[in-house]
Structures are given as structure tokens and as C-alpha cells.
Amino acid sequence: MENIKIKWYGHSCFKVTYKGYRIAFDPYEDYIPGLHLPKIKADEVICSHGHNDHNYKEGVTIEKNAPNPFNIKLIKGWHDEVKGAKRGENTISLLEADGYKIIHFGDIGEELSKENEELFMDADLVLIPVGGFFTIDAALAKEITDKINAKIIIPMHYRSKDFGFEQIGPVEDFTKLCDNVKIYDGSEIEINKDTSPQVAVLKPFQD
């Protein structure tokens, strides 16, 4: 079985590649401190919601490279804890292929429903915000990933000394709650069914 490739461009923007098919998530306009959106080529782009730091589709060049191996479910929810009254809707993306289950949580701002807990159970890969303020915080991200028994977790939507909105927290607020934390020197990892459970902290790719 082929590996799944995951590349992080900072904030909540990733490219997930499997069997040559590339999905870009949440490309951002160039106003996030310390980040600019590199050139991204993909077969498809999915945006979790309409805010400019997540929906810059024009920043992604669409090129059809391979057939889509994924069954994709887009699950509507809320960007906040008051059913969208503060920040509107959010869409969680669930990708499934060949026994793999991958979740991009977008800007989730609420606890998971029991229905979604069951749907997301035993996810192989979870991309989840941990910075708080605009989204769930580190503690709730840990609670969610524990509840769904997530195997590989890549935190996103946080601040470091080099990038990110000043209102949100650092990744360390999340990693200090976790076991099996791996700090990677690069922006990309490959996973398969044999990859060990871990919290994978990547460096954002910037060209």
C-alpha cells in the first residue's frame, strides 16, 4: 500500500497526496504574520470556511494529475461554541481510502457530537487546531483526539516565535499534554499503517 504524504504550509494549509491525487486544504491570503502562501499545485482544493486565512482558492493551481482515490465527507459544524453566532460555520473534512481515515478539522470551535465521535473513531491522521481564541484550545484538542483514538496528530493554527496571529497560543500548550511528540526538521512526512502513533510537529514550508 502506498504511503500518504502530508505537507504543511503553515496555519491550517496542508497538501495531502495519495496515489498521485493531491488535495490542498485551507490556503491563506498573505496577511498572517511570518507566513506567505507558496505556490501549490493540486487536483482539488477544500476550504473549511469563508475567512480569508482559510479560503484563498486562487492561490492554488488546479492540475488534474490522477483519479481521486478518496471518499470525501464534508461535515458542517461551527467555528465557535455558540452555534456560529460569533464566527459562523466550519466544515470538517473526512477522507477515506483503502482503510485510511484522515480528518482536517478546519477552524473547529466546538466540542464533537457523539455522532461525529463515532464517525471519526480510530482516525489514522488528524489535522487539528490547537491555538485557541479563534478555535478550540489545546486542552479541547487533546480531549477530542483522545476520544477518537487518533493515531497520528499534526497540530495546526498556532503561534510560534516566527509566525502566527498573536492572539493564539503556542504549539507547546498542546504538546505538553501529549505523549510521543516528534519534532520534525521539515514540512512533510509520509505515513502508512505501520507508522507509530505520534504527535508530529512540522515546520511550515515557505519558498
Return the CATH number at 96: 3.60.15.10
Q: Which long-range contacts (CB under 8 A, 24 or more apart) does 168-173 make?
A: 168/131, 168/132, 168/133, 168/134, 168/135, 169/130, 169/131, 169/132, 169/133, 169/137, 169/138, 170/131, 171/130, 171/131, 171/201, 173/130, 173/131, 173/132, 173/137, 173/138
- In the chain, the number of structural domains is 1
HSE toward the beta carbon, residue 207, CA cutoff 13 A: 4
Q: Which residue, among 196, 199, 168, has the nearest Cα to 11 in the 3D structure? A: 168
Query: What local confidence, expressed as pLDDT, does residue 52 receive?
Result: 67
Asked whether residue 165 is domain-assigned, the answer is: yes
Asked whether residue 168 is domain-assigned, the answer is: yes
Query: What local confidence, expressed as pLDDT, does residue 86 receive?
Result: 52
Q: Read off the pTM.
A: 0.93
**Residue-range definition of the domain harbouring residue 85:** 4-201
Asked whether residue 68 is domain-assigned, the answer is: yes
Asked whether residue 206 is domain-assigned, the answer is: no
Query: What local confidence, expressed as pLDDT, does residue 77 receive?
Result: 66
Asked whether residue 176 is domain-assigned, the answer is: yes
Asked whether residue 93 is domain-assigned, the answer is: yes
Low-confidence ranges of the chain (pLDDT < 50): 78-80, 82, 84-85
Asked whether residue 207 is domain-assigned, the answer is: no
The phi and psi torsions of 133 (rounded to 5 degrees) equal: 65, -70
Query: What local confidence, expressed as pLDDT, does residue 82 receive?
Result: 45
Query: What local confidence, expressed as pLDDT, does residue 185 receive?
Result: 96
